Structures are given as structure tokens and as C-alpha cells.
Structure 1
Amino acid sequence: MTSGDDELNAVLATAREQLTDRMGITLTSWSPERVVGTMPVAGNRQPYGLLHGGANAVLAETLGSVASALHAGNDRIAVGLELSCTHHRAATEGVVTGVATPIHRGRATATYEITITDEQERRTCTARLTCVLRDQPPA
């Protein structure tokens, strides 16, 4: 755990019972340099029994947004600007793991690459998320 734990806990507190919980996403490690999380395939499939592409997007945006928020710090927020996902391979069971690493971390924007792999460590999706960093709005 890092000194960003308080920041992450604040972000997660507002996310309780939201999409991340419904999707079964669990963060396993986090810092501005690397955020890792998992998501079950079960419950997140499309009608053909494959992990839904939108589920990959939710996992990718969650991990990249948390990393961007940690980079932004306490007095700023990260808001998604652009998300791009390439689906390489189908996942049909088990758990997928996403890892967000920085491509660019500036004052106004942060861009992360998110790789998603299956339990055999085969890449199933590559995503790129850019967030705009803004001052925290008044409470």
C-alpha cells in the first residue's frame, strides 16, 4: 500500500454499490504508476457466453481512472476524456486481470495503457484511457 491509500479510499467510498461493485471488480494493488484489478467473467458475459466487450471497457476505465486520480492528488479530480479498447481474444470463464500503467502523466491530462489478461496470462484486451485533470469542484 502507498501513501495514496487515503485518496483511493475516498474514491472507493463514493463508488460503493455502483458499477464497479455490480461488475465484481476488485482492486488488488494501486499507485499512480500501476493499478491492478480483477473482474469475474461470470455475470459479465454477452449472449454468446463470451466476456462482454463493454465489461472490458468498464474494467479498463476503472483502473485507468483510479491511477489518474492518484496522480492528480487530493485537490484535483480525473475525468475520462477518451477510451479505446481492442479485443484480442475471448474469455469465457474465470477471472480477468487488468493492469494500468502510465503512457503520459501531465498537469492537464493523464493517459494510461490497460492490459487485460485471462487466467492463463493471455492478453484478451488492450485499452488506452485519457483523463482530463481538473481542480476539485466545491463541495
Structure 2
Amino acid sequence: MNTPPIWHGEVPPDVLTAMRRGTLIETLGIEVTAVLPDSLQGRMPVDSRTTQPAGMLHGGASVAFAETLASIAGFLAVDRARFHVVGMEINANHLRPVAEGWVTGVARPIYRGGRAQVWEVRIADDQDRLVCISRCTLAVLEVPTTYLSAEQRA
């Protein structure tokens, strides 16, 4: 049985890089590392930008990371000339503290409908131990995407 691809068309990696400039994505050091046939992968540093006063990864940074991966995945999964995705709801279970290194995230679709998408994002530490699991619901709006590069936003 052939599973249809989840991505709509091609988006060159430099476009994804340009979109992050001048945003929270860049501030937190979030990077997309792979667009695979069934998932989107990324990473985020655990450093002064993403930790709380006790020196551990801030739960809010994990949520921002999860929503970033889900939103980029949703963006890649729609016809961007006709649709735009925005976050509607997100939840997260923080399972393990992380004090240094990188966390990696993998976003996979749970549901991709005409009006909504649901993505699961699993975040792990450098030892591949689960740190956070999140579920993000995106609304699919019938307007061309408004994700733009820093130059286009200016």
C-alpha cells in the first residue's frame, strides 16, 4: 500500500532559513534539520536563550520549539498559494529536565484535514531520551500563506 506524501511541493532549505531571520525562531536558535517523507525534524540549543533561572530547559521554550516545528510542517503540507496555517491549540507534557546540549524534535501528522491539522511533536535530549511530548492543532485558513522572509516583512 502506497502512502501519499504529506508535503505539498518543494521548499528549498534556504527559504526556511530566510523565514526564521528576525523572529523568535532565530532568537531561540531553532533550526530545521531534515524534511523526511513522513516527518519534519529540528533542533534547539539548551543555553542562556532557552533555560529558566534554575539552569534547566524552560518549558515555554519547549512549547515554542514544538509549535515552530508543527507550524513549519503544516506550512509544508498545504498548497501555500491557497492556504495558510496558524496555531489554534498546543499542549505539552514535560518529562525530563535538560541542562545543556541540544534538544531535537520530530513533528509527525496525526490528522491533516481541509480546515485543521493535528501534529505530534516529540522532543528528546542528546541521549535520545524523551524530554517533552506535545500535540499542536493548526487551523488551515483559505488565504495564501503569509510566512515571509525578513526582507519581505520589512
> TM-score, normalised on structure 1?
0.90
CA gap 1:99/1:138 in 2 versus in 1, 3 angstroms: closer
Give 1:12 shift.
4.8
Which residue pairs with 1:99 in the alignment?
106
Higher strand share: 1
Equivalent of residue 109 in structure 1, options 108, 112, 116 = 116
Equivalent of residue 49 in structure 1, options 55, 65, 70 = 55
Question: How many residues are matched?
Answer: 137
Larger Rg: 2
Structure 1 residue runs without a partner (length 5+): none
Contact 2:28 2:44 in 1 (8 A): yes
RMSD over equivalenced CA pairs, Å: 2.0
Which residue pairs with 1:28 in the alignment?
33
Equivalent of residue 73 in structure 2, options 52, 64, 67 = 67
> TM-score, normalised on structure 2?
0.81
Contact 1:53 1:87 in 2 (8 A): yes
Contact 2:120 2:133 in 1 (8 A): yes
**Equivalent-residue separation in structure 2 for 1:49 and 1:77 (angstroms):** 36
Contact 1:101 1:114 in 2 (8 A): yes
Which residue pairs with 2:96 in the alignment?
89
Which residue pairs with 2:85 in the alignment?
78
User: Which of structure 1's runs of 4+ aligned residues deviate more than 6 A?
Assistant: none
**Equivalent-residue separation in structure 2 for 1:40 and 1:79 (angstroms):** 24
Contact 1:33 1:67 in 2 (8 A): no
Give 1:5 shift.
1.5
Structure 2 residue runs without a partner (length 5+): 1-6, 147-154
Which residue pairs with 2:134 in the alignment?
127
CA gap 1:32/1:20 in 2 versus in 1, 3 angstroms: farther
Q: Secondary structure of the residue that 2:77 maps to in structure 1?
A: helix
Percent of aligned pairs sharing the same letter:
37
CA gap 1:22/1:9 in 2 versus in 1, 3 angstroms: same
Contact 1:36 1:99 in 2 (8 A): yes
